[in-house]
Amino acid sequence: MSLSFDPDSLDLPRAHFIGGTYVKDEGALDLSRPSDAQPLGTVPVANADLVDRAVEVAAKAQRVSGWGACQPRDRTRALHRWADLIESHATELSQLEAVASTRLISQLPAIDVAVTAEQIRFFAEMADKEGGDLVPTRDDQLGLIMDEPYGVVGAITPWNFPISMAGWKLGPALAAGNAVVLKPSEMTPFATLRMAELSVQAGIPAGLVNVVQGDGFVTGTALTGHPDIGKVSFTGSTLAGRAIMENVARTGVKPMTLELGGKSPQIVFADADLDLAARCIAGSIMFNAGQACVAGSRVIVEAKVADALAAKLVALMQPQNPGPSWLAETGYSPAISARQRDRIDHIVQAAIVNGAEVLCGAAPMDLPGYFYQPTLLFGVGARNPAVTEEIFGPVLTLQSFADESEALELADHPTYGLAAGVFTRDLSRSLRVTRQLQAGTVWVNRYGRSRDHILPTGGYKSSGIGKDLGRAAYHANRRSKSVLIDL
Ligand code: NAD
């Protein structure tokens, strides 16, 4: 059966999901389809009163259902059922996502949906295996570290991988015994709403997963500043992360996981397998048209192989079948919006004015949607805007180095430290360089996550605080209470 579908045939949920039911609301923000720029109707914006209601419902459901206090294995079972339902609704969820986002129907079921179900299962299995501790004290005393959920987690996700990001937030928060109020990006809310509905069908008590739609300014601010949110879990830009830190500081004190922007380097040494390096690098910047937080957008290559690598990259950076995200044959994504496409072009043109040499691309594509050509820029200095700015588009810069210390100097970004890649056949060098890289994730002779969900992800510097995925994400959704009993 073909994965292609008719985007006009979908019944898009245009409401909030609170307490296990859809809550209708007036549409307030206009949407358009990134693939063909056609209007996609409007989405509502939850105001502070509605956010208040969602948080109240979540807090009550978490208390009354006993979700946080139940036998942990019951949470495990319910989350497994939810993961199964997500998987069995892969087609529907993928279509809801593809119509509004840049994700392709050719990739969604096998990548976004299947991996999200796996990750939920990973966290489900932690619920009855991680706990508190009995600690050494005097013999006539008992010292305990009790491990408890926060109550209600306030989560906010970006538009670039909506299903995956919802899974990253909901999986560990629910497994750890919390309720969640989640605000998806105002540009891509549909699949998240349906995931929430499926959670109730799976037997997760109504009110445990709530989705409020809206923008960052109104809905996001109300959510992160709400006094009954025990913890904030955010993925998005560094700019918004800083605004959230300010809002949280202004309205109270609560822990935050912040997964923010990146400008990740990929260092290629002369002894590397250049074909492998070129495939990984081109793949990382072409996937979702570079709209990935960990996109390896800065190539730093040893001078003697720079020309050879550049030639291989130019050959690989040809977009395969750019087109509507709802057609199975499409292999290259648009930018999310006209604004984002224009921003990409603005930075590329500024880079050229500042001395960049164009090896390929550097212009919007002549298609109905918001497509931008895969772009490779050479001859860029450390202050060139294409090197300093997170472009969030299919744009690679190429800088060359003479020795290892210069490579590390170029790799070190003043603001970001999300991920990095190293390509070399020298194991000692790979470890030496990895130790010195200022990045929360380093990939050696590969670029991109695997299905090893045990590996946490998160940034150094202004790329974030805390981790998603891995054991760390589960523990970040629990807090500890120290107890000392005189016997
Ligand atoms: P964005 O920061 O504009 O928006 C992200 C989310 O935050 C949206 O839901 C938005 O409505 C909300 N928001 C915006 N301002 C807010 C505020 N002041 N208070 C509360 N909520 C607010 O980011 P985006 O354009 O949707 O996504 C792209 C960004 O996300 C890039 O910078 C990318 O690197 C980052 N990202 C990071 C990771 C990671 O794991 N580190 C993963 C994916 C995306």
Q: How far apart are CA 188 and CA 469, in angstroms?
A: 22
For ligand 1, atom 17: residue with the closest CA: 216
SS3 at position 27? strand
Summarize pLDDT for 331-384 with one digit per residue, the tens.
Answer: 999 999 999 999 999 999 999 999 999 999 999 999 999 999 999 999 999 999
SS3 of residue 103 by DSSP:
coil
Whether domain 7-260+464-486 has CATH 3.40.605.10: the reply is: yes
* Closest of 158, 163, 2 to residue 94, by C-alpha: 163
Confidence of residue 1 (pLDDT cuts 50, 70, 90): confident
Over residues 416-421, mean pLDDT: 98
Helix (DSSP H) and strand (DSSP E) numbers for the chain: 15, 22
pLDDT tens, residue by residue, 39-60: 999 999 999 999 999 999 999 9
Question: Residue 75 — very low, low, confident or very high, per pLDDT cuts 50/70/90?
Answer: very high
Q: pLDDT tens-digit profile of 288-306?
A: 999 999 999 999 999 999 9
Distance 144 CA to ligand 1 centre (A): 38
CA of 360 to the centre of ligand 1 (A): 29
- Compute the distance from residue 260 Cα to the ligand 1 centre, in Å: 7
Per the CB < 8 A criterion, the answer to whether 334 and 369 are in contact is yes
For the chain, the structural domain boundaries read: 7-260+464-486, 265-455
For CA atoms 20, 21, 24, 27, the dihedral sign is positive
Residue owning the nearest CA to atom 14 of ligand 1: 216
According to the model, what pLDDT value does residue 319 have?
96
Using 50, 70 and 90 to split pLDDT, how confident is the model at 26? confident
Ligand 1: atom nearest CA of 261 is: 34
Phi first, then psi: give them for residue 27, nearest 5 degrees: -70, 140
What is the mean predicted confidence (pLDDT) over 94-121? 98
- Smallest CA-to-CA distance from 39 within 51, 27, 31 is with 31
Among 186, 237, 415, the mutation site with the greatest number of ligand 1 atoms within 8 A of its Cβ is 237
- Find the catalytic residue in 259, 302, 389, 390: 259
| pLDDT confidence tier of residue 27, bands split at 50, 70 and 90 | confident
CATH number of the 265-455 domain: 3.40.309.10
52-75: string of b/e by CB count within 10 Å (b at 16+)? Answer: bbbbbbbbebbeebebbeeebeeb
Catalytic site residue 259?
yes
Q: What percent of the chain has pLDDT over 70?
A: 100
- Ligand 1: lining residues by beta carbon, under 6 Å: 156-160, 183, 185-186, 215-216, 220-221, 224, 235-237, 240, 243-244, 259-262, 293, 390, 392, 418, 457, 459, 464
Same fold for the pair 7-260+464-486 and 265-455: no
What is the SS3 assignment for 382? coil
Atom of ligand 1 nearest to the CA of 392: 31
- Ligand 1 closest atom vs CA 336: 25
Token pair for residue 291?
A: 């709209």
Ligand 1 centre to CA of 237 (Å) is: 4
Per residue, the 3-state secondary structure of 258-304, as one string, reads EECCCCCEEEECCCCCHHHHHHHHHHHHHHHHHCCCCCCCEEEEEHH
